[in-house]
Copies of this chain bind each other. A is one copy, B any other.
């Protein structure tokens, strides 16, 4: 057969070039073309916040390979035999005649190109609140390279003293950190009651507290009602009337799939607004694939469709679509479990699988626990982590793990993600064989410890109560006896001040007479990470107190204000 297969990829950011490269490797004779709207190709867009903060010094490194070659059309031509057409926008897909129409953005020149297989990788657009003033100068998203250049230049001119970041998701937090580290006063405004919506509230609150500790103002539960200014932005106005004076606003309220071309071509669009694809990443037209931020993805736990605009998944989908476009459908993309991670100054926050809120919303009957601990032995300078594990109450299958703190969150979430993808149960994790040596881990890793504690809870051996519930009971006038069983020096350094009594762990056994004589009264124990508290609660039960419980995660997981 002499016909050289024509594969066209629309979009040259992450998923598109990956699909093109994979197709090339599998079909050396195909004519493969990438049509890219912008001038850049294969930009490292996840690196933008780090270029903005100055951690990445050289703008070029966002556009070059690891060995220093710019990924321009010459690079694609010479190394891969792929034609990359830049600064060119596709205006129409003619499915019947198997061709696309595209226009050069500068010359206006129009071209029609035939395809045998088409791959749509048109990405997503940054959302902009539809409020007055949103076209003022001084407002930007952090989505494209030109956004980054704009922000970098604005900052370089030195006239930005105060900035407002609108949106407290991944990009919002990364932007907040980048601006703050450049010496700018930053306020983060989030419409929801919490930052990082993939976390449960009490875990997100720990992140929020950390962000506040970095001299960043955080406002939740309020939205932007107006951008105030006269040509140039002067302030952001919120829907309660608050005015936040600023010279810069960065909008990071999420992205929406860019599906205009697909819609016009009458491809099926899902309920969430993304292009519908099957497990082959194939759209409703068998000759057209779609990948990356413009599609809806199968959620491997709920079975529903979800939006998962992540760079890593874009690459994996690109690989699958590239192979299927080149060889016919032969490989599948199983979907996402929504794994993500975010650097938050010297803190990290990550999640994989379902949060408690999302698991309940999806109809699962779940159990969960919050635990704390250092990531390594304290004598090896271990740093604290707070972990929340969510499991199916019936099968014991782990459904989600969240982890935040100063320690190695990345490892915790990576291994948890693999555990979920391997369908492991809490019981399986209880005896997991993980790499242990003091420079790297605890003898009982945090994830294993969480499974032990959740396992105890599931077996009815641990009466635990979340910090949120403790606070609620206190606020409702309930009168539990609160027992802090840390050492005196720990108590002097940090304490809740919620009416607790402090008795060191080692003294409880001999000071039981200082506890409430009423054995029916609820006692809530806690310590640093609530390991000592667990043993104390068992001791109290053995001595007749019927309701001796443990506050989950200890003092370090307390999300509310402390006395000290």
Contact A414 B414 (CB under 8 A): yes
A265 to B79, CA, bound (A): 71
For residue A21, which residues in chain B have a CB less than 8 angstroms away from its CB? 535
Chain A 319-359 against B: per-residue CB contact (8 Å), 1 yes, 0 no? Answer: 11000000000000111111111110000101010000000
Complex partner residue of A433 from B338, B433, B461, CB under 8 angstroms? B338
Contact B421 A433 (CB under 8 A): yes
For residue A74, which residues in chain B have a CB less than 8 angstroms away from its CB? 506
Complex partner residue of A47 from B44, B315, B377, B506, CB under 8 angstroms? B377
Copies of this chain per assembly: 2
Contact B342 A437 (CB under 8 A): yes
Contact A47 B312 (CB under 8 A): no
The interface size of chain A toward B, counting residues with CB under 8 Å, comes to 108
Contact B414 A435 (CB under 8 A): yes
Chain A 390-409 against B: per-residue CB contact (8 Å), 1 yes, 0 no? Answer: 00000000000000000010
A300 to B428, CA, bound (A): 13
Q: How far is the CB of A397 from chain B (nearest CB, A)?
A: 11
Complex partner residue of A79 from B79, B337, B341, B509, CB under 8 angstroms? B509
Contact B44 A438 (CB under 8 A): yes
For residue A487, which residues in chain B have a CB less than 8 angstroms away from its CB? 67-69
Indicate whether A267 reaches chain B with its CB closer than 8 angstroms: no
Indicate whether A208 reaches chain B with its CB closer than 8 angstroms: no
Complex partner residue of A443 from B46, B452, B509, CB under 8 angstroms? B46
Q: How far is the CB of A463 from chain B (nearest CB, A)?
A: 13
Indicate whether A108 reaches chain B with its CB closer than 8 angstroms: no
For residue A439, which residues in chain B have a CB less than 8 angstroms away from its CB? 50, 343, 348
Contact A435 B28 (CB under 8 A): no
Q: Which of A47-86 contact B (CB under 8 A)?
A: 47, 50, 55-56, 58, 61-62, 66-69, 74-75, 78-81
For residue A539, which residues in chain B have a CB less than 8 angstroms away from its CB? 28, 81
Given contacts A312-B445, A443-B46, contact A78 B435 (CB under 8 A): no
A26 to B415, CA, bound (A): 29
Given contacts A418-B418, A428-B421, A539-B81, contact A410 B438 (CB under 8 A): no
Contact A441 B79 (CB under 8 A): no
Complex partner residue of A435 from B75, B300, B335, B339, CB under 8 angstroms? B339
For residue A534, which residues in chain B have a CB less than 8 angstroms away from its CB? 25
For residue A300, which residues in chain B have a CB less than 8 angstroms away from its CB? 433
Indicate whether A424 reaches chain B with its CB closer than 8 angstroms: yes
Closest chain B residue, CB of each to CB of A28: B542
Contact A461 B340 (CB under 8 A): no
Q: How far is the CB of A121 from chain B (nearest CB, A)?
A: 14
A–B pairs, 8, beta carbons within 8 Å: A21-B535, A46-B438, A74-B506, A81-B539, A311-B436, A334-B428, A415-B418, A419-B421
Closest A-B pairs by Cβ, 3 of them: A422-B422, A28-B542, A418-B418
Given A341-B441, A415-B418, A418-B434, 6 other A-B contacts at CB below 8 A? A28-B541, A67-B527, A333-B431, A410-B440, A413-B434, A419-B421
A residues in contact (CB < 8 Å) with B: 14, 21, 24-26, 28-29, 44, 46-47, 50, 55-56, 58, 61-62, 66-69, 74-75, 78-81, 170, 174, 300, 310-316, 319-320, 333-343, 348, 350, 352, 374, 377-380, 408, 410-411, 413-419, 421-424, 428, 430-441, 443-445, 448, 452, 461, 486-487, 489-490, 505-507, 509-510, 527-528, 532, 534-535, 538-539, 541-542
